[in-house]
A and B are shown apart, each in its own frame.
Chain A
Amino acid sequence: MSAPVANEIRFEGLGLEYTTKAGPIQAIKNLTGTVPAGKFVSLIGPSGCGKSSLLDIASSLVRPTSGSMLVDGKEVREPRASTSMVFQEAALLPWRTILDNVAFPLEVRGVGKRARHDRARELLRTVGLEGFAEQRPNSLSGGMRQRAAIARALSTEPTLLLMDEPFGALDQQTRMIMCTQLTEIWEQFGCTVLFVTHDIGEAIALSDLVWVMSRRPGSIKREVVVDLPRPRAADLPTNPRFQELEAELWSLLREEADAMHRGTWTGSATKDRTHSTAGDPV
């Protein structure tokens, strides 16, 4: 089979401007970066820096006002069949069973009932929800719904997986568990992943590469390589290299947050701040 398992995504001079009642807003300006094929890249940045906008462009839900996005060298401006997306709100269809929800993308493509149900069951097994196939979304917890949403996104064997703060609505413990599970699942599929998050620890634990976005208008302030070996241990936070990376990312974010709030924020910048993944003070 010659079809790629993972895409390389390149953003070149990307710009996004939109008009609001208050005037034009430049969400993204001159953003250039490459997501290597098959790698897991996290996107972190202060609130309003355009992370979600970048993901919207990556999924072609939104067209950039300047610059372009290239998938495996070819410019792409329309939604692609081999890109899947997971949203912060799982967006499962409440009137369908979990099985039918996970099989939905295949149903839309005309795959027969038997085939798509078999595939869906397989995916549910992968994400650990095999007993819940006949349940409705509203009987599942938040974490389980996100797992179902991930299963749904994987049903089409995407070469690019976009995730917009999928664990944002979950509590800390569930989030940690989901991170480990996500890595295990991803390793089975090997697609390229672009993952937006507020949580520095999560970004480090999951990724090969972390992009730190600048404040609006957003561009890539720094690309930080996460050179922690895979598979990543569960006690990662105690790893000194993890802590170094966390501190580095934290200070990069703080620079941007401080620049945003210069003059308006009166908090004290403590240099010996213990690692907290509480995220941005905004």
Chain B
Amino acid sequence: MLLGLVAAWEVAGRAGALDPLTWSRPSVIGLEAGRLVNETEFIWDVESSILNIAYGFSVGVAAGALVGATFSRAPTAIRGSLLGWLAAVQGIPFIVFYPVLLTVFGLTRMPIVSIVALVVFIPVTLSVAIGLSSISNEYLRLSRVLLLSRRQAILKIYLPAAVPLVFPGLRLGFSLALISTIGMEFIVASKGLGYRVAESYHAFAVEQMYAVIVWICAGAVVVNSLLSWIEGRLRQDAVTT
């Protein structure tokens, strides 16, 4: 079906039915996409976006895992209200703080990375906290009966048990990281994939714009598929006792 749409697009474009400045054509886009890969500036944009996402994601995941693990050991009542608060705050479009952070930090990576970290932190914390606290009691009893040391219990039982439960949070976190990064790069940036799209748009370089969009989509699909696959492999071990 997708191929059909692409084919129709190409035909309509050649026939002159579509305004070239708005729509371009798949064949031209394809060529441009290929050309871009060899262009140094494009590589820098890719690198910039990837670094923004990577830094933000790492900080968000690390902090989220730590805080989530701490929350999961809090008494149920406290944990409930903390998590509820986080879930409510999750709805805030943090990207809205970008201009504020720009004023504070200037046009560096900091504003983007900070917001990405925040936007990843929340779902990961929720995922870890809920996941860890739902690991059954039976594992606790097992680890005590088998005389596991604290370190052994964490490494051999809790960590492997928790990892598959954390993945939904990771996937969501990544999606949000990507959206936020591209979004902020649209708004104000000096490089990055989002910046490139906006710049192409303003310069009427239509094929370039679509080409970059295609690369962004491809990247997102690849990473998401990878995360899903890893999660699938981990989840197949989950048993309902």
The residues of A with any CB-CB pair to B shorter than 8 Å are 59, 61, 79, 81, 83-85, 87, 89-95, 104-105, 107-108, 136-138, 145
Contact of B142 among A91, A95, A138 (CB under 8 A): A91
What are 29 A-B contacts with C-beta separation under 8 Å? A59-B145, A61-B144, A61-B145, A83-B145, A84-B145, A87-B138, A87-B141, A89-B138, A91-B136, A91-B141, A91-B241, A93-B157, A93-B161, A94-B238, A94-B239, A95-B161, A95-B234, A105-B146, A108-B146, A108-B147, A108-B152, A108-B156, A136-B236, A136-B239, A138-B236, A138-B237, A138-B238, A138-B240, A145-B241
Let me know if B160 is at the binding interface, CB within 8 A. yes
Instruction: Tell me the bound Cα distance from A79 to B144 in angstroms.
Output: 7
The verdict on A79 contacting B239 (CB below 8 Å), with A91-B138, A93-B160 known, is: no
Instruction: Tell me the bound Cα distance from A138 to B239 in angstroms.
Output: 5
Q: Quick check: B239 and A85 within 8 Å, CB to CB?
A: no
Most buried by B among A83, A89, A90: A89
Contacts of A92 in B (CB 8 A): 239, 241
Contacts of B241 in A (CB 8 A): 89-92, 145
Contact of B147 among A81, A90, A145 (CB under 8 A): A81
Let me know if B139 is at the binding interface, CB within 8 A. yes
Q: Besides A90-B241, A93-B156, A136-B237, 12 other CB < 8 A contacts? A: A85-B141, A85-B145, A89-B138, A95-B160, A108-B146, A108-B148, A136-B236, A136-B239, A137-B239, A138-B237, A138-B238, A145-B241
Instruction: Tell me the bound Cα distance from A145 to B156 in angstroms.
Output: 20
Main secondary structure of the interface of B (DSSP, over half): helix
Contacts of A79 in B (CB 8 A): 144-145, 147
Most buried by A among B138, B146, B161: B146
Contacts of B144 in A (CB 8 A): 61, 79
When C-beta atoms are compared, the residue in chain B nearest to A104 turns out to be B146
Contacts of B240 in A (CB 8 A): 138
Contacts of A83 in B (CB 8 A): 145
Contacts of A104 in B (CB 8 A): 146, 156
When C-beta atoms are compared, the residue in chain B nearest to A80 turns out to be B147
- For the complex of A and B, list the 6 residue pairs with the smallest distance between their C-beta atoms, beginning with the closest: A138-B239, A94-B239, A89-B241, A91-B138, A95-B237, A94-B237
Interface residues of B in 216-241 (CB under 8 A from A): 234, 236-241
Instruction: Tell me the bound Cα distance from A83 to B141 in angstroms.
Output: 13
Most buried by A among B138, B152, B161: B138
